[in-house]
Amino acid sequence: MRVRVNGLPQLRYIPPPRWGRSGGGGRVVRAHKRELTRLSRQLRRNSTEAEKAIWQRLRNRQLAGFKFRRQQPIGPYIVDFVNFERMFVIELDGGQHAVAREKDLERDHWLQTQGFEVLRYWNNEVLENLEGVLEAIRNKLLPPPPTPPTRGGERRLPV
């Protein structure tokens, strides 16, 4: 099911095929994956300005050496950006997401049950504060620096 706004697909949920032993289920699954791949390619060709801006900074391991993929199928969804090493998804939302908040929450929940952490940003936030968004993403991906030991807790052993 696809909804178009300004000629671009907006709803990125494709219902999963019915699983089962009857009726050539393997063909259905392959057809479903082909449809997701076709839609992913179309979304890559029709990126928003915000997606283009952030992709220029995520691609080729530019952000702290982490590899990202864009418009990647995961289960029944296509996510904007994903890092599989850290199981980390970045979603950019335009105006249509203000009315589809319930579907976004359902999608986020499904991704979290699969082990992904999801970060969402508005398109205008990315366009107006790209460095701040990238810094927030970097901070989520990198482990916190170790805290130095305190000197007050040291004890001397008797000699």
Looking at residue 43, which CATH number applies to its domain?
Answer: 3.40.960.10
Map the chain to HEC letters. CCCEECCEECCCECCCCCCCCCCCHHHHHHHHHHHHHHHHHHHHHCCCHHHHHHHHHHHHHCCCCCCCEEEEEECCEEEEEEECCCCEEEEEECHHHHCCHHHHHHHHHHHHHCCCEEEEEEHHHHHHCHHHHHHHHHHHHCCCCCCCCCCCCCCCCCC
Q: How many domains, the chain?
A: 1
Rg (CA), the chain: 21
The reply to whether 137 falls in a domain is yes
Range picked from 24-28, 106-110, 144-148 for highest mean pLDDT: 106-110
Using one digit for the tens of pLDDT, what is the confidence trace for 120-138? Answer: 999 999 999 999 999 999 9
The reply to whether 126 falls in a domain is yes
The reply to whether 19 falls in a domain is no
Q: Give the mean model confidence (pLDDT) for residues 24-29.
A: 57
The reply to whether 133 falls in a domain is yes
Q: Which domain holds residue 8?
A: 4-14+27-141
Residue 26 binned pLDDT confidence (cut-offs 50, 70, 90): low
Instruction: Answer yes or no: pTM beyond 0.85.
Output: no
The reply to whether 114 falls in a domain is yes
Q: What percent of the chain has pLDDT over 90?
A: 48
The reply to whether 152 falls in a domain is no
The reply to whether 159 falls in a domain is no
| Range 111-114 contact pairs with CB under 8 angstroms and sequence separation of 24 or more | 111/74, 111/75, 111/77, 111/79, 114/74, 114/75
Q: What is the pLDDT at residue 100? A: 72
The reply to whether 46 falls in a domain is yes
Using one digit for the tens of pLDDT, what is the confidence trace for 39-91? Answer: 888 887 888 999 999 999 999 999 999 999 999 999 888 899 999 999 999 99
Residue 47, exposed/middle/buried by CB under 10 A (0-12, 13-18, 19+)?
middle
Closest C-alpha to 16, from 86, 83, 110 = 110
Relative to beta strand 117-122, strand 88-93 is parallel
